[in-house]
């Protein structure tokens, strides 16, 4: 997925001379082709995220469209004020592509886990947040970032993620994708947990329960219309995400559902990483399992909600 993202930036640079690439101090050889083809538009500026986002903002004020790639943890935390004030408050087309969103960097430990990136970015007015589910969707969304208004945060997953998106379905920034229909329950997801939601959908189907799968690759602005349309009529909604319980997709969905005051409001549960730090090493998959972010947990939550007697 990182490869798809970076190649997309290179492709956009070919299409539009306003596109610039910024890195902090990322892997040797990254976007070497871009550097060779557009040396004046390639910037590797060192471990100085605050400065880089400020510099990109100064360029964007003058018509450039700068894309930054560095680790999601540093990109969201270290330069938060620059992102909020310099990029977002000035409504600038700064693009922030964070590698290792979620718990991808599990072997590297808790300093490298971007488990609250969605919450941080959601708190910034005007920030568009993209969390594609696979490389195909990444390419389709990245192509649309060129002329998208305001700053964009792109959450990159591990790479080699199973392709679950359907290239035949419309893919538009700000619009959710109803991957599966289902009259009994609705699973809402973003990023690579679309895989988990789809697996839960299959498990539930074996139990005779029809659970829809709504993939919201755009966490902000949220497709509230499709969310409410999909949630209307089902008895249970379960969100699933590779993120802290607080402030991510589940929180966004809860806000929408609560304020919609649906006549027959569905029961609701968030499946996410427990609110806390994650000192364990291991793999993305093992941390998700340890954190209870699994297809079994999602399916179990649906069953529990459906079994709950009406109050």
Span interacting with another protein, options 47-55, 138-146, 153-161, 245-253, rule CB under 8 A: 47-55
How are beta strands 128-130 and 152-155 bridged, if at all? Answer: parallel
- Region binding another protein by CB under 8 A among candidate stretches 82-90, 153-161, 174-182, 191-199: 82-90
Using CB under 8 A as the binding rule, whether residue 83 contacts another protein is answered as no
Minimum distance from CB of 134 to another protein (Å)?
A: 33
The verdict on 159 binding another protein (CB under 8 A) reads no
- Tell which one of 26, 89, 173, 202 touches another protein (CB under 8 A): 89
Give the residue with the Cβ less far from another protein, 57 or 251: 57
Kindly state whether residue 75 participates in binding another protein, applying the rule CB under 8 A.
no
Kindly tell me the number of DSSP H helices and DSSP E strands found in the chain: 12, 12
Among 31, 60, 72, 299, binds another protein (CB under 8 A): 60
Which of 30, 38, 50, 148: binder of another protein (CB under 8 A)? 50
Binding-residue total with another protein (CB under 8 A): 26
**Residue 175 · residue 130 · CB < 8 Å:** no
Query: Residue 24, SS3?
Result: coil
- Residue 267: phi and psi, rounded to 5, are -75, 155
128 and 152 in contact (C-beta within 8 Å)? yes
Of the residues 11, 25, 26, 51, which one makes contact with another protein according to CB under 8 A: 51
Helix 194-206 with 295-307: angle, nearest 10 deg: 50
* Euclidean distance between CA atoms 308 and 75, whole angstroms: 42
Stretch that binds another protein, among 52-60, 117-125, 229-237, 266-274 (CB under 8 A): 52-60
- The verdict on 178 binding another protein (CB under 8 A) reads no
Judged by phi (left if over 0) then psi (alpha if -120 to 50, else beta), residue 28 lies in beta
- 45 binds another protein, rule: CB under 8 A: yes
Q: Of the listed pieces 3-11, 77-85, 141-149, 175-183, which binds another protein according to CB under 8 A?
A: 77-85
By the rule CB under 8 A, 40 interacts with another protein: yes
Q: Does the footprint of another protein cover residue 56 (CB under 8 A)?
A: yes
Helix axes 135-145, 2-15, angle to 10 degrees: 30
Q: Does 59 bind another protein (CB under 8 A)?
A: yes
Binding flag, residue 95, another protein (CB under 8 A)? no
Q: Per rule CB under 8 A, is residue 120 in the interface with another protein?
A: no
CA distances from 44 to 30, 35, 94 (A): 10, 10, 16
Q: Which residues of 87-235 form beta strands (DSSP E)?
A: 95-99, 128-130, 152-155, 177-180, 185-189, 211-215, 218-220
Contacts of 307-310 with C-beta under 8 Å, sequence gap 24+, read: 308/267
Q: Which stretch binds another protein (CB under 8 A): 4-12, 79-87, 115-123, 161-169?
A: 79-87
Query: Distances in Å between the alpha carbon of 192 and those of 34, 43, 103, 165, 244?
Result: 27, 30, 11, 10, 15
Question: Which residues here bind another protein, judged by CB under 8 A?
Answer: 40-41, 45-46, 48, 50-64, 81-82, 85-86, 89-90
């Amino acid at each position: 997925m990182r490869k798809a993202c970076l190649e997309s930036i290179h492709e956009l640079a070919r299409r539009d001379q306003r596109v610039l690439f910024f890195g902090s101090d990322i892997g040797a050889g990254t976007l070497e082709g871009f550097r060779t083809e557009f040396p004046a538009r390639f910037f590797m500026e060192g471990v100085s995220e605050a400065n880089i986002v400020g510099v990109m903002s100064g360029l964007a004020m003058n018509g450039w469209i700068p894309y930054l790639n560095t680790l999601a943890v540093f990109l969201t935390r270290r330069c938060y004020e620059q992102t909020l004030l310099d990029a977002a408050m000035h409504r600038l087309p700064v693009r922030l592509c964070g590698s290792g969103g979620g718990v991808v960097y599990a072997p590297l430990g808790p300093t490298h886990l971007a488990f609250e990136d969605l919450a941080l970015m959601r708190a910034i007015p005007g920030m568009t947040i993209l969390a594609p589910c696979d490389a195909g969707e990444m390419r389709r969304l990245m192509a649309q970032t060129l002329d998208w208004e305001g700053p964009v945060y792109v959450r990159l997953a591990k790479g080699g993620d199973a392709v679950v998106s359907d290239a035949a379905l419309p893919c538009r920034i700000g619009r959710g994708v109803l991957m599966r229909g289902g009259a009994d329950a609705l699973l809402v997801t973003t990023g690579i947990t679309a895989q988990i939601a789809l697996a839960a959908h299959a498990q539930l189907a074996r139990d005779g329960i029809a659970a829809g799968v709504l993939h919201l690759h755009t966490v902000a602005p949220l497709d509230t219309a499709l969310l409410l349309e999909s949630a209307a009529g089902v008895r249970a909604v379960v969100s699933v995400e590779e993120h802290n319980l607080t402030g991510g997709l589940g929180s966004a969905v809860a806000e929408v559902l609560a304020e919609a005051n649906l006549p027959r409001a569905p029961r609701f549960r968030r499946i996410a990483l427990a609110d806390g730090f994650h000192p364990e090493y291991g793999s993305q998959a093992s941390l998700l399992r340890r954190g209870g972010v699994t297809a079994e947990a999602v399916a179990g939550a649906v069953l529990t909600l459906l079994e709950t007697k009406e109050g």
